[in-house]
Homo-oligomer: A and B are copies of this chain.
């Protein structure tokens, strides 16, 4: 398919998509997040082709999102766990779940509930401005060029 690479776009969203932009990675990450950590478990849960799963896992480990950890030496068995970067990346998944719960769930309600362990409550995770502590809406955000935008890219967005 010769997919265009986004990594060189001067945009943090594009760079994140370069990491988990193809459709299976977020679901693999979700599985690891909820405790499905072994190759065959993930494969069975998602119905993903084994070939693609192999490639995705290797990619996510290379990029530092997941780590391959041995949980049994004999027989040699491995599982995949989230790195610190991977945990942070799950914020994106939580935002997706929030959106899906709100807009795409049927009348029966959300299929999965996420409970915040420290407070023990099932509650949505909302985006808040780290400065004023108010909820953030995308249409109340202005976009400015940042320090990482190089001169040649400044002619673009």
For A3, the chain B residues whose CB sits under 8 A away are 23
Determine which of B17, B104, B146 lies in contact with A15 in the assembled complex, contact meaning CB atoms within 8 Å.
B104
Would B16 and A97 count as touching, CB distance under 8 A?
yes
Q: Type the 1/0 row for A94-132, where 1 means its CB is closer than 8 Å to any CB of B.
A: 111111111111101111111111110111111111111
A1 at the interface (CB under 8 A from B): yes
Segment of A54-62, A70-78, A134-142 in the binding face: A134-142
Interface majority SS (helix, strand, loop, mixed), chain A: mixed
B138 x A91 contact (CB < 8 A) = yes
Contact A131 B119 (CB under 8 A): yes
Q: Are A126 and B116 in touch, CB under 8 angstroms?
A: no
Q: Evaluate contact between B112 and A141: CB separation under 8 angstroms.
A: no
In the complex, are the beta carbons of A13 and B116 less than 8 A apart?
A: no
Residue from B26, B131, B136, B148 within 8 A of A111 (CB atoms):
B148
Nearest opposing residue in chain B for A136, CB measure: B125
A104 to B13, CA, bound (A): 10
**B149 x A111 contact (CB < 8 A):** yes
Cα distance A144–B114 in the bound complex, in angstroms: 6
B140 adjacent to A130 (CB under 8 Å): no
Residues in B with CB closer than 8 Å to A104 are: 12, 15-16, 19
List, sorted by A's number, 20 A–B pairs whose CB atoms are closer than 8 Å.
A1-B1, A12-B110, A14-B100, A15-B100, A17-B26, A90-B138, A90-B139, A92-B99, A94-B138, A108-B148, A109-B148, A112-B143, A113-B143, A114-B144, A115-B144, A116-B131, A116-B136, A119-B131, A125-B129, A126-B128
